[in-house]
Structure 1
């Protein structure tokens, strides 16, 4: 007698796998994102096109960008832009622009080339922030520059995702299509700013009056999913909508009131996004476009090192700190996964291979960044302090 495998049992086993891989990641000091993607690749035959996993993954990624948007109110966005924009634009040119050109020279279509550029563009915020904290480098002089670059990328990447999402239907990419997409993005952003400055300006007082945490979860996650859904309805990405929903609520005084409610649900759902992405990668046909893959990996590393060496001094860093920053920004992760989810067929396999390889190489370079810098500039000389005895 054949019994269909219960979805409830499958969901329970997935959660147990997530727990084990998260625990294993702590033990072996490896970002859990990579392990989740590998699990998805292993279970691809079993979980491919699983609707429940796909839905959970969408909730997870929406909440990730919703919480990210909470960190950026309009005033803060303006302050960051004034100081980081020269280095940020250099990053766009090197990592997004040049990579797109390389892919185009290898014979890819304009859309596929821009897709590859988008995948290569953004440094992994989660991997980099985790390594900075784990390795005790939060107080380093280059850390502020690195975090500013991550913030700049976090602002540009959702727009890249929205553009790719809008043209992924296979229709020809025209200037009119681009202008229409940009118009929708501007409109959705303007609506978020207006709502943030009006409706949500006194939202903190309203939250304080809600004693039942269950209702608060329904309200906050409902806002995130609704604005993400509105973006989808307009033909944009739910990622951009969720980010803008976070921006709306960033106008309240204490965003931690929102974060502490949403964090547990985000942490439960987000791993399913990386697992689901892994299930969409089919490695049975070997390595596609090996020449392009090698070229992109080499350039993606070189572009971030160059960003540090050139962009660091523009931000006010020393040459030593700038090089250390460049070698510490090479890991790719969640944004690359989000952008790669637009890909299909061989491009999906290519994207998955690149992300896994770039994440591993990026973590190794992060670990070796201080040693590499010391070999180039020599070990830093500790300044001697002239301590005077009182009364002498």
Structure 2
């Protein structure tokens, strides 16, 4: 029953930390992220990563992105697709060059430097979604652009990673690039067909069932089904969950599902997800690589911020709005952690640099909420 005690500590600590963070004028999510570091191996050592933490955090991030999909304005997403594409491309090119440059600066081989570049190109907006909800800006043009750009970013980075694994990785498995691209195309074709025609029909029929909570149950089945399908097709599960939210939002049950899903997510699963990020922090061996960690983190933050902001600025956003979009793309989160693990497994990332890379991912995740709030405050005064 040890996991019950972990759950008690996590829920209590995240709520208190969130409240304290709000009181000092910061996003609640920042306090929840920091408390994960305090509870984990880096400081107190009260909670360690285990199967319970892993599975609950996976559910938490999937529900978080499902809620983001539910709250997304589809019409605004269509209007901002050019901005989303430009933000994603800008947010890949500059971080890739920056990450490669850092690798070269610290004497890494070209192969390892290229992988660092791919790692810096990744984006995870799950934390940004939480902050945007707190600021009530998830449905804004900036919020919609961030979400759309994250989808494009995920596709492009996965393709880059697959190419590198195929040509330079040590894995015995060969990856066919045409097959990989076909998978991505098939994924979107299938979910668009299901989302447009199957989901509305299914929700309508299920709502008539005389069982407990049939509608929310159907919505969660769709959410997790889309997430699993995305993962199976080589995409991030959060992309599937996000698209599932958009599909369900087109039904008459949107508001009811949104309310009940938020209750489920924010009571248990999202707190575990936020704490799980801090649990990855380890200070072992850090003293030998402190310079690498600092430089890589600074470059990762600045290049993603400016690269994405330039894309937004070129497509009509104001300077402060562009910086707000850029700050929403900074967090590398669980997407970069998956890429780092893949690189380690395929010989593209040296073992001694894994902790440094994880710390960079954590730091970008901590900085994103601060910059998001700062630039959105400036945007509201324009």
Query: What TM-score do the two structures reach when normalised by structure 1?
Result: 0.72
State the aligned residue count: 358
**1: CA distance, partners of 2:211 / 2:116:** 48
Match of 1:23 among 19, 25, 34: 19
How far is 1:230 from its partner? 3.2
- Contact 2:73–2:144 under 8 Å retained in 1: no
Residues 57, 270 of structure 2: 8 Å contact kept: yes
Where do residues 210-249 of structure 1 align in structure 2 (5 Å cutoff)?
214-249=213-248
Deviations 1:39-79 (A, max 9, x none): 33332345334211211111111112223334568766443
Task: Report the Cα distance in structure 2 between the residues aligned to 1:371 and 1:259, rounded to whole angstroms.
Answer: 26
Per mean C-alpha deviation after superposition, the further-off stretch among 219-228 and 98-107 is: 98-107
Distance in 2, matches of 1:253 and 1:76, equals 19
CA distance in 1, matches of 2:161, 2:133: 29
Per-residue Cα deviation, 1:254-311 (whole angstroms, up to 9, x for no partner) = 5323312211122120121222232222112225644443334443444356457744
Hey, what's the Cα distance between the residues in 2 that align with 1:113 and 1:316?
Answer: 28
Q: Is the 8 A contact 2:199 2:248 kept in 1?
A: yes
**Quick one: distance in 1 between partners of 2:157 and 2:89?**
17
Give the structure with the larger helix fraction: 2
1:350 paired with 2:346, answer no
Match of 1:260 in 2: 259
Distance change (3 Å), C-alpha of 1:21 and 1:351? farther
Partners of 2:370 and 2:269 in 1: how far apart? 28
Cα pair 2:92 2:122 within 8 Å, conserved? no
Structure 1 unaligned blocks of 5 or more: 374-378, 381-392
Paired residue for 1:206?
205
Aligned to 2:327: 330
How well do the aligned residues superpose, as a CA RMSD in angstroms?
4.1
Which residue is equivalent to 2:4? 8
1:173/1:314 CA distance change after superposition, 3 Å: farther
Quick one: distance in 2 between partners of 1:51 and 1:123?
21
1:111 aligns with 2:107: no
Moved more, 48-57 or 288-297: 288-297
Q: Cα deviations across residues 296-342 of structure 1 (Å, max 9, x unaligned)? A: 4443444356457744553334xxx4156427743667653442244
Residue 285 of structure 1 pairs with residue 285 of structure 2: yes
Query: Does the CA contact (< 8 Å) of 1:61 and 1:270 recur in 2?
Result: yes
The Cα shift of 1:194 comes to 1.0
**Which range moves more in the overlay, 52-61 or 178-187?**
178-187
1:125 is the counterpart of 2:128: yes
